[in-house]
Amino acid sequence: MLEIAAVTAPGARLHRAGLPDLPFDDDRFDAVLANFVVNHVPDPRAGVRELARVTRSGGRVVATVWPSGRNAQSRLWAAVVEASGAVPVPSVRLPQERDFPRTVRGLSALLSQAGLQEVCAGTIHWEHRGDPTSLWRGAEAGIGGIGTTVVAQTAEVRRRMRAEYERLVAPLVDEGRLAFRTTALLAVGTRP
Ligand SMILES: C[S@@+](CC[C@H](N)C(=O)[O-])C[C@H]1O[C@@H](n2cnc3c(N)ncnc32)[C@H](O)[C@@H]1O
């Protein structure tokens, strides 16, 4: 991500750090964005509190997460797993006391509990476009839940998964581009 950011935001100062301990003073930033991050951290509440801490009074914290339930992409991967006979690796869940509902209300409450005010949350939809080969390469490299399953298979099952992926992704590809209708949860709150 740092390498990509260096290209897409030349001149930006980049830091490597991890929630819930950011190496920044209180009230440092006007706006703080955590795009599909709080769904990856071991303690989402502590993570959002930290995002709020580094935001100045009147500044905004914005977070997106994937909603619970299936989407077009996870349906594709589930079909690949089933058709290839792969053994899925169950996803690791946070302990119940640390987890939060991946719903509009759940994300909204997460921001409110971190002391943010005027919290506004909703669902956003867009068309996710990409290259079908890159999507497979990400899974093959172990990225995401499907990646965990792909790398746990034998070479023979991985080959079957690849073949089933090619077959099942074809109807979603137009002129070499893959397009999924997708949905995320987005919440914004203001630091008091
Ligand atoms: C799905 S990626 C999203 C990346 C980027 N924000 C975007 O929207 O393309 C999840 C990101 O969360 C980061 N991440 C995972 N654990 C983290 C933590 N404890 N603190 C901060 N970031 C973390 C990962 O390094 C990764 O860049």
Q: How confident is the model at residue 93 (pLDDT cuts 50, 70, 90)?
A: confident
pTM: 0.91
pLDDT tens, position by position, 36-46: 999 999 999 99
pLDDT band for position 83 (50/70/90)? very high
Assess whether pLDDT exceeds 90 at residue 183: yes
DSSP states of the chain as a string? Answer: -HHHHHHHSTT------BTTB-SS-TT-EEEEEEET-TTTSS-HHHHHHHHHHTEEEEEEEEEEEPPSS--HHHHHHHHHHHHHT--PPPPPPPPTTT---SSHHHHHHHHHHTT-EEEEEEEEEEEEEE-HHHHHHHHHTT-HHHHHHHHTS-HHHHHHHHHHHHHHHGGGEETTEEEEEEEEEEEEEE--
Q: What pLDDT does residue 70 have?
A: 87
pLDDT at 133: 96
Distance of CA 37 from the midpoint of ligand 1 (Å): 4
Task: Ligand 1, residue 18: give the atom nearest the CA.
Answer: 20
Domain ranges of the chain: 2-190
Of ligand 1's listed atoms, the one at least distance from the Cα of 64 is 8
pLDDT at 105 over 90: yes
* Interval between CA 33 and ligand 1 midpoint (Å): 11
Residues above pLDDT 90, as percent of the chain = 92
Of the pLDDT bands very low, low, confident and very high (cuts 50, 70, 90), residue 27 is: very high
Q: Is the pLDDT of residue 91 over 90?
A: no
- Ligand 1 neighbours by CB, cut-off 6 Å: 1, 18-19, 35-37, 40-41
CA 36 / ligand 1 centre spacing (Å): 7
Average pLDDT value for residue range 146-151? 97
Look at 135-139, 156-160, 176-180 and tell me which has the smallest mean pLDDT.
Answer: 176-180
Q: 26 CA distance to ligand 1 centroid (A)?
A: 21
Domain 2-190 in this protein, CATH class: alpha beta
Average pLDDT over residues 147-172: 97
- Mean pLDDT, to the nearest integer, of 39-58? 97
Q: Taking all residues of the chain, what is their mean pLDDT, rounded to a whole number?
A: 96
pLDDT band at 92 (very low <50, low <70, confident <90, very high): confident
Q: Residue with the nearest Cα to atom 6 of ligand 1?
A: 35
Q: How many angstroms is it from 160 CA to the middle of ligand 1?
A: 30
Taking alpha carbons only, the member of 44, 42, 183 closest to residue 123 is 183
Q: For the residues 60-82, what does the mean pLDDT come to? A: 94
